[in-house]
Amino acid sequence: MSVSLFWAKGQGYCRRKASILFFKRPFVIRTQRPLISFSFDDFPESALRTGGAILKHFGLAGTYYASLGLMGKDTATGRIFGPADLGVVCEQGHELGCHTFSHCHAWDTATRAFEEAIIDNRSALHDLLPGVEFQTFSYPISGPRPLTKLRAAEHFLCCRGGGQKFNVGTTDLNNLSAYFLEKTRHRIELVKDLIDHNRQALGWLIFATHDISDNPTPYGCVPGFFEEVVRYAVASGANILPVVEALKALRSARM
């Protein structure tokens, strides 16, 4: 391993640890029935048109984390949603979540600029869909720097990161774990194992991905794979809800 690669890996490890360790909002998951959420970051048109159609086929809804500054643009995750798609998300019973206005890197962006991008995204949503509010958030590109995590927490019921695992026991509402499907899109058995473990542990498994298309970007997956994951999730007996609804279900289960 070269010195620079070694240094980059060490730095990545330290950042991940810092994202996890500081400014937690502990939340104990206690439920009789496991939960699963499906979320899409950015979100490309195909996440709604193809991914949303698959969820709808099973009578389910997901969470769409939108950066309104990316609207209509061609990006590394495909063509991003247009203004009309925001209304469609709400009409179809999905959740609209925040992903900052301009898709700010959660570690590299200064905390003040990051928080402004949260506020800008909210303002842009108010202009297009008055009365609709973002309630949950996902960090773009990276885990958050600690102060950014602290500031973001003030705006949302919960914030989601990555980590390739499900949430169980005491979790952190300021940095919920998620499993990015594209990272194992050629190994469905790993995803099925995870769903099985989530069922046994009575946890909350949040899936994330980007585009759902026959020719996906490196950040998305094909419809057949996504559909198989959804079918297996349904068969597991989990309660499958958008992120904000899953959180509410967990809160009421504890009362």
Q: Site residues (CB under 5 A) for Zn ion?
A: 41-42, 140
Q: 3-state secondary structure string, the chain?
A: CCHHHHHHHHHHHHHHHHHHHCCCCEEECCCCCCEEEEEEEECEHHHHHHHHHHHHHCCCCCEEEECHHHCCCEECCEEECCHHHHHHHHHCCCEEEECCCCCCCCCCCCHHHHHHHHHHHHHHHHHHCCCCCCCEEECCCCCCCHHHHHHHHCCCCEEEEEECCCECCEEECCCEEEEEHHHHCCCHHHHHHHHHHHHHHCCEEEEEECCECCCCCCCCECHHHHHHHHHHHHHCCCEECCHHHHHHHHHHHCC
Nearest residue (CB) to Zn ion, 140 versus 162? 140
Q: Which is nearer to Zn ion, 24 or 105 (CB)?
A: 105
In terms of CB distance, is 217 or 236 closer to Zn ion?
217
**Shortest separation between residue 219's beta carbon and Zn ion, angstroms:** 8
Minimum distance from CB of 98 to Zn ion (Å)? Answer: 11
Least CB distance to Zn ion at residue 140 (A):
4
Nearer to Zn ion, 42 or 172 (CB): 42
| Amino acid in position 137 | F
Minimum Å distance from CB 179 to Zn ion? 15
| CB of residue 43 to Zn ion, shortest distance in Å | 8
Q: Minimum Å distance from CB 67 to Zn ion?
A: 7
Q: Pick the closer one to Zn ion by CB: 109 or 198.
A: 109
Q: Which is nearer to Zn ion, 145 or 199 (CB)?
A: 145
Query: What is the C-alpha separation between 108 and 75, in angstroms, rounded?
Result: 19
